[in-house]
């Protein structure tokens, strides 16, 4: 493989400093000698080079209507939409590899593959998108017929587009297997979203830790935010000084106000702190100052499939986990003996687990040790990055053969 292979990452729902795209892929690949660029659609027009040396350009998203659904229609009808601009920028880079994330960039995926220099194209299918739409039905109970039809069409279209790419990458096996059923075994692989911040772990005594519990990540009602507050209210009766911290993005934006109202009305101001989004580099500080990790997602269809990175981050920082009794959360907690699974809809059960781990030092140490040990042996991002590079190398070699043979 020649020096300075160009890789272009593309995204429209994930930000510049996304943990998977930027910190786990772009930055380490740049350090290994690849020439990396990152194009994305965002709220503000930006262009430059990050301090880690990544060339980037953010194309300002074009909005056609304040109505979410009308905007979606108009955006797709407009000939000068976001994705055509994104394609033009990407094509100009003449990258050997285009690695795109997010569903709607499939609109230009086939065009990228058809570029004259015949690049390698990878699609990082990060979410079970059709199931996400079905979960909207479960959450809101409106427009269910329309949403079910839309989810079906999205799934069919996504798989059809993926036939043209070199490889589809999932971050867990359910999504991978869904693609394999349509594309064949060799066209879809899993690159697990294991943690790359395990080296930031500091062995701090429990007395020095500031928080008893941490919930870190996307904060929504469906991911258990309200139930955690309800559980904290119950647990406070047993442990009056219990301390819980939320760190992440709140969705919708007014959720933070809703949570704060619950805190105020239930006299939990000294027990719960709500932090907004923290830069990736700062997450480790919160983990090192916390005792136990919470990931009590509710059982919506999409959430029973998704693989939460927080499982691996909590384990990496020796945090016993209290997690939902389904899906990947249950699987890894039980497989590695690193926490307690609960019914996420039952705040009394969550509360019982919270009190249990805070008062049983032997159990706490057992789960803590197991999680950290499992990370070092199995769940480091280094392992997955090596696999990704091997996939790049294999498909670049196939590309070279085809170019030599005029195919």
Task: Please list the rounded mean pLDDT of every run of 10 residues in the chain (407 residues).
Answer: 84 93 97 97 93 95 66 59 91 97 94 96 90 66 74 92 96 95 95 95 95 96 97 98 96 93 97 90 94 96 92 98 97 98 98 97 98 96 97 95 80
pLDDT at residue 69, rounded to an integer: 56
∠ CA 47-112-160, rounded to 5°: 125
Distance CA 54, CA 49 (A): 5
Q: Which residues contact 225 (CB under 8 A, 6 or more apart)?
A: 215, 219, 246, 255, 259
Ranges for all domains in the chain classified under CATH 3.40.50.2000: 6-194+381-404, 198-378
The CATH T-level fold of domain 198-378 is Rossmann fold (3.40.50)
List C-alpha distances in Å: 257 to 22, 60, 136, 225: 31, 28, 22, 12
DSSP 185: G
Q: What is the CA radius of gyration of the chain?
A: 22
pLDDT at residue 396, rounded to an integer: 96
The CATH T-level fold of domain 6-194+381-404 is Rossmann fold (3.40.50)
Contact (CB, 8 A) for 281 and 251: no
pLDDT at residue 1, rounded to an integer: 45
Instruction: Give burial (CB, 10 Å; 0-12/13-18/19+) of 80.
Output: exposed
pLDDT at residue 4, rounded to an integer: 87
């Amino acid at each position: 493989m020649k020096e300075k292979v160009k890789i272009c990452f593309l995204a429209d729902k994930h930000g510049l400093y996304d943990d998977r795209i930027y910190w786990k892929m772009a930055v380490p690949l740049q350090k290994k000698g690849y020439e990396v660029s990152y194009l994305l659609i965002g709220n503000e027009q930006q262009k430059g080079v990050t301090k880690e040396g990544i060339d980037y350009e953010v194309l300002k998203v074009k909005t056609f209507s304040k109505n979410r659904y009308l905007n979606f229609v108009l955006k797709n009808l407009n000939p000068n939409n976001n994705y055509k601009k994104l394609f033009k920028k990407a094509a100009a880079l003449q990258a050997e590899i285009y690695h795109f994330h997010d569903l709607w960039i499939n609109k230009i995926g086939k065009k990228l593959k058809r570029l004259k220099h015949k690049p390698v194209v990878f699609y990082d299918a990060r979410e079970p998108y059709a199931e996400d739409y079905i979960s909207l039905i479960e959450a809101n109970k409106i427009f269910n017929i329309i949403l079910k039809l839309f989810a079906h069409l999205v799934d069919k279209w996504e798989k059809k587009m993926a036939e043209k790419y070199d490889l589809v990458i999932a971050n867990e096996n359910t999504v991978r297997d869904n693609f394999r059923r349509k594309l064949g075994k060799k066209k879809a692989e899993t690159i697990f979203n294991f943690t790359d911040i395990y080296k930031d772990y500091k062995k701090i005594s429990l007395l020095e830790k500031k928080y008893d519990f941490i919930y870190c990540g996307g904060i929504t009602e469906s991911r258990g935010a309200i139930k955690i507050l309800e559980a904290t209210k119950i647990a406070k009766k047993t442990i009056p000084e219990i301390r819980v911290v939320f760190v992440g993005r709140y969705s919708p934006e007014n959720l933070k106000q809703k949570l704060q109202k619950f805190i105020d009305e239930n006299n939990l101001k000294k027990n719960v702190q709500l932090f907004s989004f923290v830069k990736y580099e700062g997450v480790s500080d919160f983990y090192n100052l916390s005792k136990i990790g919470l990931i009590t997602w509710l059982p919506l269809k999409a959430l029973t499939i998704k693989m939460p990175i927080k499982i691996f981050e909590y384990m990496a920082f020796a945090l016993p986990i209290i997690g939902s009794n389904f899906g990947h959360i249950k699987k890894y907690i039980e497989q590695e003996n690193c926490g307690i699974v609960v019914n996420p809809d039952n705040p009394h059960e969550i509360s019982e687990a919270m009190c249990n781990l805070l008062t049983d030092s032997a159990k706490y140490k057992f789960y803590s040790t197991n999680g950290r040990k499992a990370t070092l042996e199995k769940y480091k991002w280094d392992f997955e990055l090596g696999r990704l590079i091997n996939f790049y190398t294999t498909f670049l070699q196939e590309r070279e053969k085809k170019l030599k043979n005029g195919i």
